[in-house]
Amino acid sequence: MKRLRLAPVQQVSGNLKLPGSKSISNRALLLAALAEGSTRLENLLDSEDTRYMRTALEQLGVPVVHSGDIWTVAGRGGPLVTEDAHHELFLGLAGTAFRPLTAALTLGRGTFVLDGTERMRERPVGDLVDALRQLGASIRYLGAEGYPPLAVVGTGLAGGTASIRGNVSSQFLTSLLLSAPLAGGPVRVNVQGEQVSKPYLEITLQMMARFGAQVRHEDYQRFEVSPDTYRTPGHYLVEGDASSASYFLAAGAVRGPGVTVYGIGEDSVQGDVAFVDVLASMGAMVTKHADRIRISPGPQPLRAVDVDLNHIPDAAMTLAVLALFAEGTTHIRNIGNWRVKETDRLHAMSTELRKVGARVEEGADFLRVTPPDSFACAEIETYGDHRMAMCFSLVSLAGVAVTILDPDCVSKTFPDYFQRFQSLAS
């Protein structure tokens, strides 16, 4: 297995332009493909997950052309496929491609097999399939009930009312909503229980509106979408990835003189921008602008916090490692949805934090982290999870070397992450 040794870091300083948001990039690709007209996507993330989406669209006959920093998508003005063809799509571990495409391919004609890696076959999709079936979709499981691979038969969505659990993943509801305007009739969705990761849903709603479709909702519990047609906005700028920003912002909060990240700011649509408020509550110095955020250490050491981070689960992982540098015990609550991500992130995080000397309590949906008395050099298992790899790069800020196993797993969302991290460190 490939290993990457990160040397101890004494200070962090500089400016960084963020790659495009993965969540926004894959939504934008699908919306552009469904819309009337061609859409020019600027700052689209070029990573493993977005390549799976682009490749799938091209297999389905949607032209996606690259020139410089612009990707141009020739929209279909409706369903992606309208003839009775057969397509087999391999989508790796890209949940932001697999789940929205599952919904979108019910709209037109054709038969489709959607599959992915072994870990993808362990990630639940039953809640989405059940909801789509309630709206008239024809979907079969080709393996274990409730999990990929899937066989989707394009018959069109009739519309109607569907119920969907909200406490597993916001990607299920996002996938349903993205396709809802192209259903034959109005679509109403009732969310059972509390909806997790609401900021990611807000990204979906704002992007749908940008492409001309409106969604009405009551406190994220009841949604209604009328039949409509997506229309290209012509040009669409993809924001920098706020989840990826969290590692550099955390580094700036620990080691001075500080870091400025460009591509997100106080007007960002991404919920993970709220991570900077957590940093401020820990004692970091935060300055927000429209297009950038500056972080530097505060006058006192970072303080532990007790926070519910259900709304920003990806950035919550960064906090779990940042807790190594905070005085006291950090309590991260309401993160049970970590367990159905690229790996069981609660178990993985607690296991690897203990390797560097932290005292960790892992619950069903929480993590308590107390810093070590002294840091141990460690080899960090990443479990094929890009965010585990990026989070644990921060251990090098403790003045010890850290070895990251399978560092190339960051290609899922941020292929040159380690080069960018090391360019700011000295």
Q: How would you class 228 by CB atoms within 10 Å of its CB: exposed for 0-12, middle for 13-18, buried for 19 or more?
A: middle
> What residues does 405 pair with on adjacent strands?
3
State in Å, rounded, how far the first CA of the chain is from the last one: 27
Q: Residue 68: is it exposed, middle or buried by C-beta count within 10 angstroms (0-12/13-18/19+)?
A: exposed
Question: Which among 246, 265, 242 is positioned nearest to 254, based on CA atoms?
Answer: 246
Looking at 192-312, list the stretches that DSSP marks H as alpha helix, in order from N- to C-terminal side: 198-210, 242-254, 275-282
Nearest Cα to Cα of residue 417 among 254, 259, 241, 297 = 241
Instruction: Return the structure tokens found at 269.
Output: 């649509």
3-state secondary structure of 306: strand
Which residues, 6+ apart, have CB-to-CB distance to 54 below 8 Å? 29, 64, 71
Q: What is the CA radius of gyration of the chain?
A: 21
Catalytic residue among 49, 127, 272, 314: 314
CA dist., res. 43 & res. 313, Å (int) = 24
Contact criterion met (CB below 8 Å) for 92 and 117: yes
3-class DSSP state for residue 365? coil
Q: Are 64 and 76 in contact (CB under 8 A)?
A: no
Task: Determine whether 46 is an active site residue.
Answer: no
Asked if 102 and 174 count as a contact pair (C-beta separation under 8 A), the reply is no
Q: Quick one: how far is CA 41 from the chain centroid?
A: 18
**Contacting residues for 95 by C-beta, under 8 A, at least 6 apart:** 120, 123, 169, 171
Q: How far is CA 10 from the centre of its chain?
A: 30
| Pair 249, 275: CB distance under 8 Å | yes
Q: Which residue has the tokens 């009732």?
A: 190
Residues annotated catalytic, as ranges? 314
